[in-house]
Amino acid sequence: MALDRPHGLNSLGFAKPPADTRVVVAMSGGVDSSVVAAQLAEEGYDVVGVTLQLYDHGAALAKKGACCAGRDIHDARRVAEEMGFPHYVLDYENTFREAVIDEFADSYLAGATPVPCIRCNERVKFKDLLATAKDLDADCMATGHYIQRTMGPERAELHRAADMNRDQSYFLFSTTQEQLEFLRFPLGHLPSKAETRALAAKYGLPVADKPDSQDICFVPNGDYASVIEKLRPGAADPGEIVDMEGTVLGEHRGVIHYTIGQRRGLGIGGLSDPLYVVRLDPDARQVVVGPKEALAKRTVPVREINWLGDAPFTSRPEWEVEVRIRSTRPPAPAVIRPISETEAEVELATPEQGVSPGQACVFYDPDSTRVFGGGWIHKGVSTDPA
């Protein structure tokens, strides 16, 4: 781990030999966390591997492209055996369903577009698993996420990964300061995924060529609607597609099949200009469509804010930052105006399209790679393209 560190500290930041430093590694069974565990074990740390069983892996065994399935548990165990450190599998199915899956279904039914991977990090991996690591007398917990933790003049800071194409800061914005003090991200400084796979090959890991997970782990093939329909029978009831004035243009096959900004698959023909989903009204079972310009949003209400700046969030009337409102979009200039310690109004310098309740709004320092936290976009997003 070629990281700058004060003299006398080991690579994880502790003033003692690696052999006296216990680190719990959250192992998903993929190449990233496997490399972290193998590297730390080779450096002589007291490594303990932990894998969470998050859902019925019997049903998931036949499914590739998701994390924490039965095959992934097997792969994590093999890595631990080959590298010679203990490995435990913890059954978190009930916790995961209550903290992540149920909210995912309910959010979709409410017309939002949730990001369950963030909730999993927030409510399971960095909460219950982190508590388990402390119960195991670990000095810290390491993960395979592509993000950087550095020591600033005030405290530990969260920074974007060196490889911006792999950066996972959008999914880790809710990491609290207390959690950040305990967490380590050994891969965040690597310039590309190629280096991770090279390390896996160097250590002879059986997962060196394993493909990256693509889907949400409990959503086979990205088919959200079928999962939600199983969890909430009747969720796919049909209803009306209406324009912004309420004129009925057609019928939809269930609000859960649609997302803000969607253009294709509406089944509305014969119109001169394309229409996009601009709003979902689950109570009226309506999908509201309009022109592309109706998607432009400048003001974004955000709540459940996790602030990682050095000064208190409410110590200023506004913060000039960059924000990312979708994982696939680059950060863009904005102003945050705090309402309370956990609520704010975000004004985008340039209106963006497809801003959806349920997505995250992540805050970045415009002058560095530092992540200042973020919050959740909620209903009430206003249209102000001017």
Torsion angle in degrees (nearest 10) through CA of 225, 231, 233, 234: -40
The catalytically annotated residue of 68, 120, 140, 361 is: 120
29 carries a ligand binding annotation: yes
188 carries a ligand binding annotation: no
Largest CA distance in the chain: 72
**58 vs 243: CA distance, rounded Å:** 44
52 carries a ligand binding annotation: yes
386 carries a ligand binding annotation: no
Handedness of CA 8, 9, 14, 18 (dihedral sign): negative
Q: Is 210 in contact with 30 (CB distance < 8 Å)? A: yes
27 carries a ligand binding annotation: yes
67 counts as catalytic: no
364's tokens: 């970045």
Cβ count within 10 A of residue 246:
10
3 carries a ligand binding annotation: no
Task: State the burial class of residue 261 (Cβ atoms within 10 Å of its Cβ: 0-12, 13-18, 19+).
Answer: middle
28 carries a ligand binding annotation: yes
106 carries a ligand binding annotation: no
The catalytically annotated residue of 117, 140, 217, 361 is: 217
120 counts as catalytic: yes
**346 vs 318: CA distance, rounded Å:** 9
31 carries a ligand binding annotation: yes
32 carries a ligand binding annotation: yes
**281 vs 110: CA distance, rounded Å:** 8
Q: Which residues are annotated as a binding site?
A: 26-33, 52, 144
> Catalytic residue positions?
120, 217
Q: Which residues are annotated as a binding site for ATP?
A: 26-33, 52, 144
